[in-house]
Amino acid sequence: MRIHNLYEDEDGESHFRDIEVEWAEERGASKYSALLPATGIIFRKTSGDYDLDWHPAPRRQYIINLDAGAKLTASDGESRIIAAGEVILVEDISGKGHLSQSVGGQLRHSIFVPVE
């Protein structure tokens, strides 16, 4: 399972990379990761016309898109569409940050899982 990761380097520039989930346990037809730390859960509803200028993430957090995607652009210029059902770990909490836009004008429901 792949997780997108948006992180910042020592100069405050944001970049993408992929993280592969490591499986710690297998039971029957399922594989499980180790228990990861989290501090809560936030539900978000975002209008289909949003187009956010450069901003850092407010905290380290996983974002899980439920029914629509978001286009994120790192400060190094790389853009990715994080589709419905995909997960991203945002860690660019200082520096220039990233751009965030709706995809196709769709209303988006997502879940934020802070890992501070």
CATH of the domain at 58: 2.60.120.10
Based on the structure, what is the number of domains in the chain? Answer: 1
The structure's pTM equals 0.94
Report pLDDT for 49.
96
Report pLDDT for 22.
96
Cβ-contact 54, 96 below 8 angstroms: yes
Report pLDDT for 116.
78
* Domain boundaries, position 88: 2-24+39-114
- Count H helices, E strands: the chain? 0, 12
Structure tokens at 88: 């991203």
Report pLDDT for 75.
97
CA 114 to chain centre: 11
Give the chain's residues under pLDDT 50.
none
In this structure, is residue 34 part of a structural domain?
no
In this structure, is residue 31 part of a structural domain?
no
